[in-house]
Amino acid sequence: MTEGTLFALDIGGGTQDLFLWEPGQTVENAVKMVLPAPTRMVARKISRLTAAGQAVFLSGRVMGGGAVSQAVRRHLQAGLPVFATPAAALTFHDDQQVVKQMGVKLSSTPPPEAVEVVLGDVDLEFWRRLFILLEVPFPAYFAVAVQDHGFSPHISNRLFRFQHWQNFLNNGGRLDELAYRTPPQYLTRLQAVAESLPGVVLMDTGAAAVRGALLDSRGRAHQEVGLMVVNVGNAHTLAALVQGDRLWGIYEHHTGLLSPAKLFDHLQRFQAGTLSHAEVFADQGHGCAISPGYPPTGRPFSFTVITGPQRRLAKGWPNSVLAAPFGDMMLTGAFGLAEALIKVRQLSINLVEDL
């Protein structure tokens, strides 16, 4: 184990983005990877078993749903059985009755006719084998980001997620407080990652993207006055109103449901502080939360930093720049994670100056 080697992994719905930095390296020479998201990798395994006509047994831990959930539904529609442990079944819903209604059979042991597929956002052995093949040192410090809706068996997980965001804003909205050594118990997906990687620093993907976008020098130049950060991800779009180290507002929607016209309308009213949570939620988005007292200066934050793989949806947004910290937009979240890791672990590294 090499002291100071940092591993930052930002796990989204389309990709998982890795940044591995060794002390003394320039960021240009660090290991950087954009790989398929774990949910897509697992979904492809299930799809192969569907084509082969084989039963599936899902074990492991709760992970991101998305493509996995779709693959399981297709498997069931093909008339093939799906078994899952109670822990793995949380990937599909927090209410076991809902999982059973899908057609998934809960089982603690694999039936003899089923092929086991292990669920989980982080496969440490996969990364260990890869690092050996690449002849790079095994990391000393880990940081991982996933999107966690929170454990909510009886209410919409979109509502529950925005209760979490609203509570965060009501308690001061400090960006540093979105990096966890020990996440709240109700953030079960983050808890599952912590079980896989003891000592890991954890963040929500949206928070990691905001933090990473602010490493772009053009964003930092407006941070004290106030600005809007927009991350147009493959699965979700998140915008944040930021001043200094405080978040004043959060907006989140499903990227697939947004057109440029709708996104522009939502962002304009979010920036002005007039977009309602009810409207976004009714449109099948997650929601919108804005702190009382926004804008603190009496004027909405007019400058915008935009990042994310689907950022073309925001093309033409006024008074904005496309963030590419250290020249790599796809690693925005991973860079944000690395900075959070350095602060949480109190490492003597300045991400902007040392990298």
pLDDT tens for each residue of 296-325: 988 889 999 999 999 999 999 999 999 989
CB atoms within 10 A of CB 204: 26
Write out pLDDT tens, residues 141-188: 999 999 999 898 888 989 999 999 999 999 999 999 999 999 999 999
**pLDDT > 60? residue 348:** yes
**pLDDT > 70? residue 351:** no
CB atoms within 10 A of CB 77: 10
Query: pLDDT at position 3, please?
Result: 57
Mean pLDDT of 87-110: 96
pTM for the model: 0.93
User: What is the spatial distance between Cα 105 and Cα 58, in angstroms, rounded to a whole number?
Assistant: 10
Query: Among residues 157, 166, 165, which one has the least CA distance to residue 189?
Result: 157
User: What is the spatial distance between Cα 344 and Cα 321, in angstroms, rounded to a whole number?
Assistant: 29
Strands (E) in the chain, as ranges, are 6-11, 15-21, 31-36, 55-60, 82-84, 105-106, 114-119, 141-146, 179-180, 201-204, 227-232, 236-243, 246-254, 287-290, 303-307, 320-322
CA atoms in the 13 A half-sphere facing the CB of 39: 23
Average pLDDT over all residues of the chain: 93
Mean pLDDT of 34-63: 97
* CATH topology assigned to domain 218-323: Nucleotidyltransferase; domain 5 (3.30.420)
**pLDDT > 60? residue 288:** yes
